[in-house]
């Protein structure tokens, strides 16, 4: 340790989070979020300064360089505050509570998020990115105010605390409303009113992909034969995957587009986005058999396997947005963008076609001399326009991709956040499982199984509860509701794909812990944080679907699926009660309730339990897995099983398929074609 480092007491050097370690050599006396740090603030009667971000966050890096590496700013922070750095991905509970506070105080949120709180943790001031001068001035004023007129901050903290508690009050529904199909009519119209018919998605910028929105909309359009809605969903998937937000060279999606046409991404690549989009494009491929969707899935999973997977089978969290140019200057997107001169030199005779394909022109130009690859037409249309056979065009573009991938490999790579989060791993496990079902590639199922074993071996505590994070062989932080929600989904997915009952049993165990550790007795919904953990200033009940589905909507869907698979009606009833509790909130802003709406389709349309028995049950099941059938659960076995769906359904030397609805089964059939004919969508 050099003399400069000895001058400070920065505790982050002892952490494993890549984001916290990025700040371990700041001249700020950073502490991690833990009981000791929080008690120190009370003991010394100092304001808490809580700064929240994540490793792939561009503006987090900017603020670090401008303020947290600045000696004068650090001196001010160290003198008057207990400074706590939080990785929002490690501590989503802390992030949610203080993000709610920032949104109440400022009307907006984002990262970095910076909060000043009383020694007991109640917030009094906050915001996102601050320029150095703003930052220093605000901290001086707050420190002075706390010293001279602490009662003012105390009064404000009390009012804000009441506001935070108010937004978390969720009353259970007194009346049980009939779940009716007509409910969807105004809801779908509200979705449609915000669509961007030109570029796909919604009329806004920046644009986020919102996978759970499109999973619901695709399903609704398919089940109700709404051709216009289906066209918009597929148009959106096309424009996203043709745009710069999808990386055609290395595979995978960036976090969001800064513009309306999906051209220029915020270049960070997050595991959770790619997990959900792989699943979405796999389902879209089932509906359309579109070859391009298959390529999107395959190249994205290749990216995950090459760049985001540990030898243990764990998936890493993120790739940074920033990387270095050859001159050593670090900028967002440096790894991904190209100059026209570079492309022409690398691609030679293929450049003119590549240039037309990816708009190396004023449309595809980003800033300075840099281009972000974007196309505006299908490969079929481009082949016609270029007067070339489709297969020949495909081969030329693949050849160009290969050359550019080799050239890009020589560049400085973006930083890797190599921690593994249980919830995000489970999402990616589900992505691989759905890709296997859609494309039939055995290696996808094997990768999913390996990740499941990673979770079972490393992320399960001795008492069966989950850990949230894993890094360098160490598992830590008690699991949150999102960890349970997405792990249960993943294990149910694996059961319905492999029919290994150990995965169904594991889902059962996790459901039991959710009911023990997370239930909010007032609302009947589930708290984000376990009742075994230190309580924060307010309790959080997550019901709004965002870029990731809300943990409560995912739990409700799990209850429904588990209940249908096990013929346990009490879990189906729980799912309905949870849906009833949020039902009246949905019409006002349905985009925030799309996963709940997906659940509602289960209650308002035919839903089937499929049981397959006999020696050839796995091959028969593949027919169902390869079809888009969002309204079934499926069990299968070649031997006797105690699972209610399969009990007493085995017949010697016969392969039988039972299609059941509400526990009542048709007579068994012997061919998948006959069975599929018994499944209605509406």
pLDDT score of 322 more than 90: no
User: Is 29:48 a contact under the CB 8 Å cutoff?
Assistant: no
pLDDT score of 381 more than 70: yes
pLDDT score of 288 more than 50: yes
Give the three-class secondary structure for 539: coil
CA atoms within 13 A on the CB side of 585: 19
Phi, psi of 422 (to 5 degrees): -60, -45
**Pairing of β 467-471 and β 81-87:** unpaired
User: Is 185:191 a contact under the CB 8 Å cutoff?
Assistant: no
In whole angstroms, what separates CA 193 from the centre of its chain? 25
pLDDT at 418: 96
**What does the block give as tokens for 217?**
């909309």
Give the range among 392-406, 487-501, 666-680 with minimum mean pLDDT: 666-680
Give the range among 379-388, 448-457, 493-502, 643-652 with minimum mean pLDDT: 643-652
Query: Which helix or strand (DSSP H or E) is residue 11 part of?
Result: none
pLDDT in tens, 24-78: 999 999 999 999 999 999 999 999 999 999 988 888 999 999 999 999 999 999 9
pLDDT category, 7, cuts 50, 70, 90?
Answer: low
What is the average pLDDT across 492-501? Answer: 97
Of the candidates 130, 136, 121, 42, the one whose C-alpha atom is nearest the C-alpha of residue 86 is: 121
Give the range among 147-156, 326-335, 509-518, 622-631 with minimum mean pLDDT: 326-335
Other C-beta atoms lying within 10 Å of the C-beta of residue 277: 24
Of the candidates 290, 300, 216, the one whose C-alpha atom is nearest the C-alpha of residue 254 is: 300
Q: How many helices (H) and strands (E) does the chain have?
A: 26, 22
Please name the residues in contact with 277: beta carbons below 8 A apart, sequence gap of 6 or more.
Answer: 209, 211, 253, 296, 300
Of the candidates 372, 368, 311, the one whose C-alpha atom is nearest the C-alpha of residue 343 is: 372
What is the average pLDDT across 610-626? Answer: 96
Dihedral class, residue 456 (left if φ above 0, else alpha if ψ from -120 to 50, else beta): alpha
Q: How far apart are CA 153 and CA 667, in angstroms?
A: 71
* List of domains in the chain: 3-167 (3.40.30.10), 182-224+306-312+419-604 (1.50.10.20), 336-410 (no CATH), 608-677 (no CATH)
Phi, psi of 11 (to 5 degrees): -80, -5
Q: How far apart are CA 623 and CA 671, in angstroms?
A: 10
Q: How far apart are CA 45 and CA 41, in angstroms?
A: 6
CA atoms within 13 A on the CB side of 409: 9
What is the average pLDDT across 427-443? Answer: 98
Q: Return the residue matching tokens 């490393």.
A: 458
pLDDT at 238: 98
pLDDT category, 90, cuts 50, 70, 90?
Answer: very high
As a whole number of angstroms, the longest Cα–Cα distance in the chain is 86
pLDDT score of 191 more than 70: yes
What is the average pLDDT across 134-150? Answer: 95
Phi, psi of 679 (to 5 degrees): -100, 115
**Pairing of β 30-32 and β 81-87:** parallel
pLDDT at 682: 76
User: Is 423:482 a contact under the CB 8 Å cutoff?
Assistant: yes
Q: Degrees (nearest 5) of the Cα angle 457, 446, 444?
A: 125
Q: How far apart are CA 528 and CA 61, in angstroms?
A: 28
DSSP string of 387-411? Answer: TS-HHHHHHHHHHHHHHHHHHHTTS
pLDDT score of 4 more than 50: no
User: Is 88:95 a contact under the CB 8 Å cutoff?
Assistant: yes
Angle between the 271-288 and 227-242 helix axes, to the nearest 10 degrees?
130
pLDDT category, 1, cuts 50, 70, 90?
Answer: very low
pLDDT at 5: 42
Q: Three-state SS across 196-256?
A: CCCCCCECCCCEECCHHHHHHHHHHHHHCCCHHHHHHHHHHHHHHHHCCCECCCCCCECCE
In whole angstroms, what separates CA 677 from the centre of its chain? 35
Q: How far apart are CA 255 and CA 371, in angstroms?
A: 18
Q: How far apart are CA 505 and CA 491, in angstroms?
A: 9
User: Is 568:576 a contact under the CB 8 Å cutoff?
Assistant: no
User: Is 54:86 a contact under the CB 8 Å cutoff?
Assistant: no
DSSP string of 150-212? Answer: HHHHHHHHHHHHHHHHHHT--PPPSS-----GGGHHHHHHHHHHTB-TTTSSBS-SSEE--HH
Q: How far apart are CA 584 and CA 397, in angstroms?
A: 50
Q: How far apart are CA 154 and CA 146, in angstroms?
A: 9
What is the average pLDDT across 390-396? Answer: 96
């Amino acid at each position: 340790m050099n003399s400069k480092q000895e001058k400070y007491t920065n505790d982050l050097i002892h952490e494993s989070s890549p984001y916290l370690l990025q700040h371990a050599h700041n001249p700020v006396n950073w502490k991690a979020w833990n009981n000791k740090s929080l008690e120190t603030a009370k003991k010394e009667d100092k304001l808490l300064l809580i700064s929240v971000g994540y490793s792939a966050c561009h503006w987090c890096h900017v603020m670090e360089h401008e303020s947290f590496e600045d000696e004068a700013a650090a001196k001010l922070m160290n003198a008057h505050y207990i400074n706590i750095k939080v990785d929002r991905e490690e501590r989503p509970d802390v992030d949610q509570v203080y993000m709610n506070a920032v949104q109440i105080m400022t009307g907006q949120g984002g990262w970095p998020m910076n909060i000043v709180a009383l020694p007991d943790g109640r917030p009094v001031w906050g915001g996102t990115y601050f320029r150095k001068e703003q930052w220093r001035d605000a901290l001086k004023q707050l420190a002075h105010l706390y010293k001279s007129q602490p009662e003012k901050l105390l009064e404000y903290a009390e009012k804000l605390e009441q506001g935070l508690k108010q937004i978390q009050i969720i009353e259970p529904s007194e009346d049980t409303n009939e779940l009716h199909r007509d409910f969807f009519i105004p809801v779908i119209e509200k979705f449609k009113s915000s669509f961007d018919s030109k570029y796909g998605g919604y009329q806004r910028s920046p644009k986020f992909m919102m996978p759970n929105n499109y999973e619901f909309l695709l399903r609704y359009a398919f089940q109700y034969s709404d051709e216009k809605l289906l066209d918009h969903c597929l148009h959106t998937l096309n424009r996203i995957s043709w745009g710069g937000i999808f990386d055609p060279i290395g595979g995978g999606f960036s976090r969001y587009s800064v513009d309306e046409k999906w051209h220029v991404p915020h270049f960070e690549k997050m595991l959770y986005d790619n997990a959900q989009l792989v699943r979405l494009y796999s389902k879209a491929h089932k509906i359309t058999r579109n070859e391009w969707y298959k390529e999107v899935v395959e190249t994205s999973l290749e990216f995950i396997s090459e760049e985001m997977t540990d030898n243990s089978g764990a998936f890493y969290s993120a790739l940074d947005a920033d990387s270095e140019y050859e001159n050593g200057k670090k900028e967002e997107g440096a790894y991904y963008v190209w100059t026209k001169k570079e492309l022409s030199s690398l691609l030679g005779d293929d450049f003119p076609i590549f240039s037309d394909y990816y708009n190396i022109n004023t449309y595809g130009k980003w800033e300075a001399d840099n281009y972000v690859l974007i196309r505006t037409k299908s490969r079929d249309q481009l082949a016609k326009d270029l007067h070339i056979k489709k297969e020949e065009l495909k081969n030329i573009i693949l050849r160009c991709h290969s050359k550019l991938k080799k050239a890009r490999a020589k560049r400085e790579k973006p930083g890797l956040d190599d921690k593994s989060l249980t919830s995000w791993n489970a999402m990616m496990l589900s992505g691989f499982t759905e890709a296997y079902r859609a494309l039939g590639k055995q290696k996808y199922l094997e990768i999913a199984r390996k990740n499941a074993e990673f979770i079972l071996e490393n992320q399960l505590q001795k008492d069966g509860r989950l850990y949230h994070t894993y890094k360098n062989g160490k598992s830590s932080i008690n699991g949150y509701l999102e960890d349970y929600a997405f792990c249960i989904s993943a294990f149910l997915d694996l059961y319905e794909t492999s029919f290994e009952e150990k995965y169904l049993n594991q889902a059962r165990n996790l459901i039991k812990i959710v009911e023990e550790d997370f239930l909010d007795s007032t609302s009947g919904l589930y708290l984000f944080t376990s009742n075994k953990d230190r309580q924060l200033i307010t309790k959080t009940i997550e019901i709004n679907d965002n870029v990731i589905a809300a943990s409560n909507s995912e739990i409700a869907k799990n209850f429904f699926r588990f209940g249908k698979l096990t013929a346990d009606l009490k879990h189906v009833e729980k799912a309905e009660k949870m849906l009833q509790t949020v039902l009246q909130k949905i019409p006002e802003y349905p985009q925030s309730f799309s996963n709940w709406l997906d659940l509602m389709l289960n209650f308002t349309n035919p839903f089937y339990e499929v049981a397959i028995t006999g020696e050839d049950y796995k091959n028969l099941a593949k027919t169902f897995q390869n079809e888009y059938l969002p309204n079934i659960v499926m069990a299968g076995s070649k031997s006797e099983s105690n699972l209610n769906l399969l009990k007493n359904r085995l017949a010697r030397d016969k392969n039988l398929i039972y299609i059941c609805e509400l526990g009542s089964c048709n007579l068994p059939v012997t061919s998948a074609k006959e069975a599929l004919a018994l499944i209605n969508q509406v």
